Structure 1
Amino acid sequence: MVLMVGRRKARLATMMMNLRSDVEPRTEIPPVLITGLSGAGLSSAARVLEDMGWFVTQNIPPQLIVHLAEMIADPTSPVDKVAVVTDVRSREFVGSLEQIIAELSERGMKPLVMFMDARDDVLIKRFDNLRRTHPLQGSGTLMVGIEREREMLSGVRESADVIIDTSDLSVHDLRRVIEPNFSSIANKRQHVTVQSFGFKHGSPRDTDVMIDVRFLPNPFWVPELRPFRGVDKPVADYVLSQDAAEPFLEHFMEMFDDMRPGFEHEGKKFITISIGCTGGHHRSVAIAEEIGRRLRERGDLDVNVQHRDISRN
């Protein structure tokens, strides 16, 4: 459920008051903080988690976030998965949010921060379509409001565990991005998303590792392969049979193994690997699928493969 302050506040307060302080904390499904740019899809992300059985709250005072975290840590609580949508509209709130993240981390309840982002042109179009003003634009333009919010949230974005750029995502696409990562969040394994994309559609901003595979021959120029995509066997066989493919894949897997301890040291639970080619149809798709397969064989990772531009012209 998405809980709005003023509607079910009494229920939430009662749940908190009934918690016992003499019990051992239960396992860890960390509280999730959903934040990000206005118009980037915070409410849509909240609805996805709600449909997955999360207790989702919205627009609550920052101080209550700590109480919610304590609630899900209590074995007697009926709620074990909580997400909080933080609609940041003031510098004071940003400061409070950063302080709360630090406080929860010190208590061993480090929240998972999901930051929703989108390109400026997309945000402008969304606000125009809804005929809404930006909460921070004041007497200025819509772009002024977006720039102010980006500046205010830059520190939060930098430290976020998950960054989702919704510029090119439909609501259904967003669900496909969130569900695989959060369905098994209770385990301590790292979550790896391998996404293919086409450079002609723009580089993804929500990535940790970006690889350009345009050094491989392009199946687009093979007439009998052009209608297919990298998920189809003829194209996959063609791409993976190239002389440079196997050495590259071996080197990449070795590189990723070298990087993993660093990600773990930084507490990074979610890792995004982006594989790019020209259009995002053939080479990047085939390589992303193969990297995903090899990562799954590791046995200690949750792996999700997605193809951002496979259906785009």
Structure 2
Amino acid sequence: MTQTKDADDPKTPSLLLVTGPSGAGRSTAVNALEDLGYEVIDNLPLSLLPPLLAVTHERPLALGLDVRNRDFSIDALIAVIDAVHERLGDMAQVLYLDAAEDTLLRRYSETRRRHPLAPAGPPQAGIARENEMLAPIRVRADYVVDTTKMSPHDLRAEIDSIFAPGEGRMLGVTVHSFSYKRGLPRGLDIVLDCRFLRNPHWDPKLRALDGRDQAVADYVAADDRFPTFFAKVKDLITLLLPAHKDEGRSHLSIGFGCTGGQHRSVMMAERLAASLEEDGWQVSKRHREMERRDGVGLSGKQGQGV
């Protein structure tokens, strides 16, 4: 359940303090916020907060705070909350993650971690003490999320619904091209083989070009099998992307391979990336063999990197 003091306010807070008892899901929440575009800092000492806020930030800030912070105290945290509310008004908010004591105990038992407030004893004592300490913070929270019955995926979905209503987490897609001779790039989720398509390498006029050149793209697209292949690939990816997003994924990597990684795979990667961008997906491109040849890595230019 989520409680809000201003549930109808659609504005994204410029500063979000994320806290709650250990084991309630703070790490999952700040990771979800990072996927939504927040600049996340976890376990920031409270003494460093004033100089941090004195600097202009292009993205909203999400700060994870709990009893493990080096200079944590309830009085200090209350002072911080009051100060940022006075300075930023509704643009500073507090997200409090809570869970039933038996749930927190079960989570500690599963991970076999020691409770920070009971390092030499049973976690029950630390859980009870922490809940008592944090009670004044819970009262000041703008949002209280009870994670007792939530899985990590449920909590991510809840964070999305609060801080990106109607939009949700952006799933980042990277489309790669590569040469099978050099092996598969690391981290690919989906790999598709283009070696059956018409090969521009055998045309002397096209050999020195690559799949970003229109003449090469036209040559590959003239293969009778290309339209069906591309259409089926696009249908497959269009089916999978929303499913992966719903599953809580923040990124998906798709690879196209051919013999040299210069013509067919590059053309397919370019064509799919452009189509996905038209559909509104956040897409970047990597042409591994082109980057090796040109001596560059990730680039801000479309067609040569991100």
Which has the greater radius of gyration?
A: 2
TM-score range relative to shorter protein: 0.3 to 0.5
